[in-house]
Amino acid sequence: TNPKPAFRRVLLKLSGEALMGEEGFGIDPKVLDRMGQEIKELVELGIQVGVVIGGGNLFRGEGLANAGMNRVVGDHMGMLATVMNGLAMRDSLHRAYVNARLMSAIPLKGVCDDYNWAEAISLLKSGRVVIFAAGTGNPFCTTDSAACLRGIEIEAEVVIKGTKVDGVYSDDPFKNPEAVKYDVMGYNEVLEKELKVMDLAAFTLARDHNMPLLVFNMNKPGALRRVIMGEQEGTLIKA
């Protein structure tokens, strides 16, 4: 096996749902700490890790709007949900003796730092994990868009998206047992086949800036490390 990591700086996108584990809502501390440990392993390999965290385990603006709430207010709640997840992740990393900072696109004085591009890069260079919360700071956006945006900003070599499945499939593998998994794909192939990797805004941002995307199963122990070591794991999407 290849002992050298395939990447130097990565942007890891974790969905809020990933933190939920088997629970229907909120954060499962066991799952949170397991993810913290996996991130710690990357830091120990010398990888610079930026993390964008979702909020779907708590609130989604779209869901709140469907229930009658104003969409912008719902999205504000969704973004604050990502800050809560970010606080939990920072705490988990600190308990695991990993230096981590939490930066929010919405200023929350006394709770976490404000997002600052230059500071984020200098923290990453000094081995700190930087967690980016509150998405892009704008309603009608997703944390997948935030992941691609921050990934491009910090000049990550790849945006790694943790999901519940092993990668990108020709069809929903939970519903169709015939679905086949792709190992490597081009951006246009994903668009032509109308495969759901991310929302279109996020996906085209990545494509337009030539940011490779790697989709893998966050629930599979050790999979993140294998991704980082450049072993065949998940699906890589690139030009």
Considering only residues 146-185, where is the footprint of ligand UDP by CB under 6 A? 146
Instruction: Judge whether 171 is annotated as a binding position.
Output: no
- Quote the least distance from Cβ 144 to ligand UDP, whole Å: 6
Enumerate the β-bridge partners of residue 181. Answer: 169
Instruction: Determine how β-strand 113-114 pairs with β-strand 9-14.
Output: unpaired
Would you say 65 or 184 has its CB closer to ligand UDP? 65
C-alpha–C-alpha distance, residues 73 and 61, integer Å: 7
Enumerate the β-bridge partners of residue 102. Answer: 131
Straight-line distance from the first to the last Cα atom of the chain, in angstroms, rounded to the nearest whole number: 26
Backbone angles phi, psi at 218, to 5 degrees: -75, -20
What does the angle CA 35 – CA 146 – CA 158 come to, to the nearest 5 degrees? 65
> Quick check: 48 binds ligand UDP (CB under 6 A)?
no
Would you say 50 or 55 has its CB closer to ligand UDP? 55
Report in angstroms the alpha-carbon separations of 19 from 16, 53, 82, 215.
5, 9, 11, 17
Binding mask 60-99 for ligand UDP (x = CB under 6 A): xxx-----------xx--xx-xx-----------------
| Residue selected from 143, 163, 217, 235 as contacting ligand UDP according to rule CB under 6 A | 143
Instruction: Determine the angle formed by the axes of helices 71-95 and 29-44, rounding to 10 degrees.
Output: 60
> Quick check: 142 binds ligand UDP (CB under 6 A)?
yes
> Quick check: 40 binds ligand UDP (CB under 6 A)?
no
Annotated binding site for UMP: 55, 75, 136-143
Query: Where does this chain bind ligand UDP (CB under 6 A)?
Result: 15-17, 54-56, 60-62, 74-75, 78-79, 81-82, 135-136, 138-139, 141-143, 145-146
Annotated binding site: 13-16, 55-56, 60, 75, 136-143, 163, 169, 172
